[in-house]
Every structure is written in structure tokens, then in C-alpha cells.
Amino acid sequence: MTEHDRAERDRAERELLARATAWRDQDPDPETRAELTDLLEQITADDSERSDQRENALRDLASRFDGRLEFGTAGLRGELGAGSARMNRVLVAQAAAGFAAFLVGRAATGEKPSIVIGYDGRTNSDVFARDTAEIMAAAGVSATILPRALPTPVLAFAVRHLASSAGVMVTASHNPPRDNGYKVYLGGDDHGSQIVSPVDGEIAALIEVAAESSVASIPRSDDYATAGDDLVMDYVRLTAAVAGSPQARTIQPRVVYTAMHGVGWEVARRAFATAGFTEPIPVAEQAAPDAAFPTVAFPNPEEPGAMDLSFATAARVEADLILANDPDADRLAVALPVGGDRTTWRRLSGNEVGALLGWRAAARVAGDAGEAGEAGDGDRGDSGLGTGTLAASIVSSPALREVARQYGLPYADTLTGFKWVSRVDGLVYGYEEALGYLVDPAKVRDKDGISAAIDMLSLVAELMTAGTTLEQHLQEFDARFGAFASSQVSLRVSDLADIPRITSALRSAPPADIGGHQVERTDDFLNGFEQFPAGDILRYWLGGDASHDGSRVIVRPSGTEPKLKVYIDAWSTTGDAAARRVAADAVVAELEAGVRQLLA
């Protein structure tokens, strides 16, 4: 190493140590303050020699201050810990101060903005929520905090129900146990949806201003309100109403429910009871909130093994259905017994659930839902009976588009993320394949795993009352609308820069075929595409459209995890329901093998 390089290295180290020391000195959390103190002592104690311990401490410290955890349309989300690149009380205080400045700045003259704040059962969620309430109150924002750890849909409901200017939900949803996050909603003209661009940039700029001063100087006040249980009961009552008339469901399914160590069980249990359903059998090991998530590697019902305890419980009690919420209960997973054998269970994909609930929603709009939630007779084409739009994210199955077509209803594709789905004009139902469903947009403008569970349970009860099953109903869907199959390949990366490198390589050397299926057209969203803004998304069409046999592959980065995701869809309308299913599944298997080879 040259003298110049050594001098540059020493200068960079001094700057890092100064940033870390300044951060530590303003940190109100003794745990994260101690993390930095320990690292700083390891570095300064060995200043005379570059030991392995000192170098490791320097690398750790550098990773914590390698930029800031970015505030965007998903708010904040990241690993708990000290430093500007982690989730902690300093970062949350800066975010709350910046968001408060935004709300006060956009309020009309003489108007006092308001906010409602919720939190789940993750580590420090309650602390981050109280910090936010205190800073908002001191800034002149009328702040209300939810009475205890509650699901995200309750907070999203509260923003609309209380006519608040904004909402914050402290949650990392289904992320790994050591993560936490900060989701932001807006009322008024945004109707309680999550923020979108350019508002995220405006808030981020004000957060940067707040970060220029020590958080110890940010004013705080305990002049904030705590919501009563009547708010939760209002949510429960309106959610239970999704079940509809009890006359159509004289048979009660035996249901197993898991909260995945999250906050769903209390509210879901009350909603089921209010709707007139027999109380589900909880997966006991996962019923109570536990920030360690001890029985799952990832608290996400989509992850392999996450629902194993649900399957075991369902087999033991011979259940008819499994309903699983993720830890903040905004997502829903559904599983059914295979071939009527209650010892063997299969989780439905998000696209399967999304299509069935979409069929049910379309039938409701048309006013012809039968006792089993069936869609009525014939192809409605463009008859236009009923009003309301069905919507799904672009990576979700084309199945919902076909449902809308047959019912003569408007359909909208959106960018990935419920912040986009929830904003569709005239929305009556929306979903995204990552287990997110919105079945009652008049009540809430975000995905809601509890109201979706009520709707699915109602469907199953109606089917059983009519002498059929959910598995048979899926076959009826194939017969009426076509068989739609889907799969997903995820490539987890350790360096986020690997993702644009991979997509750039796909652009420079585009595939002529995938899994033996010729690529007929490529849609590149990099500079914007049709009504969609610019994004690092590639969509390959391999024949057909939503109403004829065909397939597609979509490549995009994950919005919440260090992953490149590839979404695979195929569909068939040729032959009977069984033949269609075989054909669609076979194409998806071939495409999945081709995608894995393409990314290898």
C-alpha cells in the first residue's frame, strides 16, 4: 500500500468513526447505543495494529453506515440495529419528524393535520410507534395510537374510518425476524392508500432535513390519544359483513388457522365469531405474537416449511380448510386436503386464491352469485351487467382478466404493490399473487388477510352446503374460464448490484426461447411501457393472450427483499377441464426449467 493509499484509508476511517460517534451520542436506545460503543472500542483499542478483530469491527461499522436506509413508496424496511443503514430509534425519529413536517406543510390554513399509528408484535414496533406519536404531537399533528399490537388492515381501516390525514404502521410484514419497517398511508384524496411517487420523494427530502440535527433536539409531547376498542370492533363488524347471508351456508367447515407468530389471531377470531362461524382451531405454537418466530425459518406462508405445523394440526383434527395469515395479517394463505384425504394438504397459490375470490366478486357485482358462490350461466361478454373494476398487479395471473371479460367488467393491470392496486378507479376487487387480496375496498384500501379469510371461509361453507368442495370449484373454474397455471423462480443475492447486472445481461443478449418455447415479443419497462412508468422489468410473451392458449415470463427485482423474481404463467382453453390443466401445468414446468437454466 502506498503512502497516499494509507492516508486515504486512515481519512476514511476517521470519518466513519466520527459519524458513528455522532450517531451513538444522539441515540435514545441503550441497546443500539451499546452496539456502537462496543464496535468503537474494538477499533480504537487496537489502533496501533490492524488485527483481525479490528478489521472485522471496521467492516461491521462500515456496513451500518453505508448510506441511509432509503425511504420510498414502501416507507422504511430493514434489519434492526444501530446505524443509518439499519432500523432503529434514531432513523424512526428522523422519519417521524420529516413526515410531520410534510403533513403540517400540506395542511390547509387553519387546519390541524391528523395521524393514526399502529404497530405489530415485532421487536421495537411499540417503541417506534410511541416515538412517532410523541414527535407528531409536538409538531402540531393530532396523533392517535392504536390500543395494542394489531394487524396492518386495522390501521389501514382506521385511516379511512377516522378520516385521518395520514397513517403509519410499524411492521416488517413477512420479512425475517430481525427486520422491522415503517409503512406510510395518506388520507384525503388518497383515500387511505399507501404513499406513491412523488410524495415519497417529498417526504424523504424532509427526513434528510431532520437528519441534519441531533434527534435529541426534536421536540416531543405526550399529548396524543389512544384509540379505544370500539375502533377494533368497528373493523370486526364491517369485516364480518363480507360473509354475506348465513342462509347459504348451513354446513360449518372445520378450519385450522395460524397467525404465524403474528398479531392476527385476536382480531380474526372475533371476526369469525361475529360472522357466525364456528371458532377455528388455532395452531397453538404460532397463535401468540412472538418476535423471535421460533417455529419458522421465515414467517411467510409462501416459504417452504412455514405451514408444516398447520398441515400437521389439520391432519390431526381432520380439518376441511387451513387459513394462514402472515405476521401482520395483511396476507392470506389457503390450503385444502388433496383428493379429500385429510392427511395430505396442498397450499393454493396466490393466483388460485386470487382467481376464486375474483370470480366471487364478479358474481356479486353481477348479482347472480349462487349458493356456492358460482358465477352464473354463460359468457357475459360485453353485456356490462353490474359495475366495478377488477384489478391485479402485472405479475399476477391473467386469470382475473378473463373473469372480468366474461362478466363484462372493466379490468386494470397495475404495477406490483398494493399501493397501486388500491388506487384503481371504481375498484370492487383487487389482488396480487403474493397472497394479497382486497375484497372490500369501501372499508380499507390495502390488502387485508382477515377479510379475505372471511370471504374464503364463506365460499367453502357455501360449497359444502351445496354438496361440493373447493377442489371441485377449482376444476369448475378451469372449465369455465380456462386453466391458468403459474410458478415463480427467486434468485436471492448478497449484493443488490447483482440484480441490475443480470437484467442488463438479459437485455444485451435476449433469449430467443425459454424452455423450448419461442419468445414472440419482449416488453421492456426500463424507460417506461404503455401506461407504466420506468422500471427494471422484462416481460416475455411466448404465444397466445389471456383468452387463448399461451404463456409469459416476467423478470423483476423484489420490492422488499434482496431477490430477483421471475414470474411464469401459462394458460389453456383447449379440451375439457382436465386436459386444460395438464397442458397449462406442463408448459409452466418447461418454462421453469428454462428460466433456471437462463439464470444459472
Q: Is it the case that residue 559 has pLDDT exceeding 80?
A: no
Q: What is the pLDDT of residues 517-556, one digit of tens each?
A: 999 999 999 999 988 988 999 999 997 665 568 999 999 9
User: pLDDT tens, 464-511?
Assistant: 999 999 999 999 999 999 999 999 999 988 888 889 999 999 999 999
Q: Does one domain contain both 422 and 523?
A: no
Active-site annotation holds for 221: no
Domain at 426, CATH number: 3.40.120.10
Q: What's the pLDDT tens digit per position in 42-83? A: 998 755 566 888 999 999 999 999 899 999 888 999 999 999
- Alpha-carbon distance of 181 to 87, in angstroms, equals 7
Q: According to the model, what pLDDT value does residue 387 have?
A: 74
| Cell digits of residue 319 | 380439518
Q: Count of domains in the chain? A: 4
Alpha helices in 371-416 (DSSP H): 399-407
pLDDT number for residue 339: 83
Q: Is the pLDDT confidence value at 35 over 60?
A: yes
The answer for residues whose C-beta is within 8 angstroms of residue 105's C-beta and 6 or more apart is 206
Q: Evaluate whether 125 touches 149 at the Cβ level (below 8 Å).
A: yes
Q: How many angstroms separate the CA atoms of 558 and 555, rounded? A: 10
The answer on 288 and 419 residing in a single domain is: yes
> What value does the mean pLDDT of the chain take?
93
Task: Give the best-scoring range by mean pLDDT among 351-360, 378-387, 485-494.
Answer: 351-360
Share of the chain above pLDDT 70, in %: 95
120-139: pLDDT as tens digits: 999 999 999 999 999 999 99
For residue 89, the enclosing domain spans 76-226
Task: Report the pLDDT value the prediction gives residue 374, as an integer from 0 to 100.
Answer: 45
Q: Are residues 209 and 253 in the same domain?
A: no
Q: Say yes or no: 396 and 298 in one domain.
A: yes
**pLDDT higher than 50, residue 377:** no
Q: Is residue 70 part of a domain?
A: no
Give yes or no: residues 195 and 221 share one domain.
yes
**Boundary residue ending a domain (165, 193, 226):** 226
Q: Is residue 69 part of a domain?
A: no
pLDDT over 60 (residue 385)? no
Q: What is the CATH number of the domain that holds 548?
A: 3.30.310.50
Predicted pLDDT at 380: 36
For residues 136 and 169, membership in a common domain is answered with yes
Residue 534 backbone dihedrals phi, psi, to 5 degrees? -60, 140
- Regarding whether 490 and 438 lie in a shared domain, the answer is no
* The one catalytic residue among 114, 165, 173, 572: 173
**Integer Cα distance of 193 and 167 in angstroms:** 9
Query: Does one domain contain both 136 and 51?
Result: no
3-class secondary-structure state, position 514: strand
Task: Indicate if 232 and 335 belong to the same structural domain.
Answer: yes
Q: For residue 282, name the pLDDT band (cuts at 50, 70, 90).
A: very high
Are 455 and 560 in the same domain? no
**Same-domain check for residues 51 and 191:** no
Give, rounded to a whole angstrom, the gap between the first and last alpha carbons of the chain: 37
Q: Of the ranges 3-7, 151-155, 188-192, 408-412, which one carries the lowest mean pLDDT score?
A: 3-7
| DSSP string for 280-313 | PEE-GGGSS--TT-TT-SSS-TTSTTTTHHHHHH
pLDDT, position 5: 76
Do 558 and 77 form a contact (C-beta atoms < 8 A)? no
Q: Is 152 found in the same domain as 127?
A: yes
Beta strand 436-438 pairing with 427-432? antiparallel
Phi-psi region of 246 (alpha: psi -120 to 50; beta: other; left: phi over 0): alpha
